[in-house]
Amino acid sequence: MFEYELHQIRSAELIREAQNHRLAQEALRGRRAARRAAARESGQNDTEGQSHSGRPRRHRFARAA
């Protein structure tokens, strides 16, 4: 009987951990969606994100002839 009780406790613990993980992922998706919506409203449609400097982006390698 003792093993069964331990199994029940462990099962309940895993279910709680899974629910907490799902809740954290849902909150993360919500924050990301809100950040994207705010960027869309402000007119920043860059998919690469904003750079920290005001310089225009340069190519890493020179063009081949």
Containing domain of residue 9, as a range?
1-42
Q: Is 5 part of a structural domain of the chain?
A: yes
Residue 50 lies in a domain: no
pLDDT digits (tens, 9 = 90+) for 28-40: 999 999 999 998 8
**Residue spans of the chain under pLDDT 70:** 44-56
Q: Kindly state whether residue 51 falls inside one of the protein's structural domains.
A: no
Q: Are 44 and 50 in contact (CB under 8 A)?
A: yes
* Domain count across the chain: 1
Residue 37 maps to a domain: yes
For residue 7, tell me if it sits in a domain: yes
| DSSP single-letter state for residue 55 | S
Look at residue 52 in the predicted model and tell me its pLDDT.
Answer: 63
* Domain presence at residue 23: yes
Tell me, yes or no, whether 34 lies in a domain: yes
The CA-atom distances, in angstroms, between 49 and each of 54, 62, 64 are: 13, 23, 27
- pLDDT value, residue 15: 98
Is residue 25 in a domain?
yes
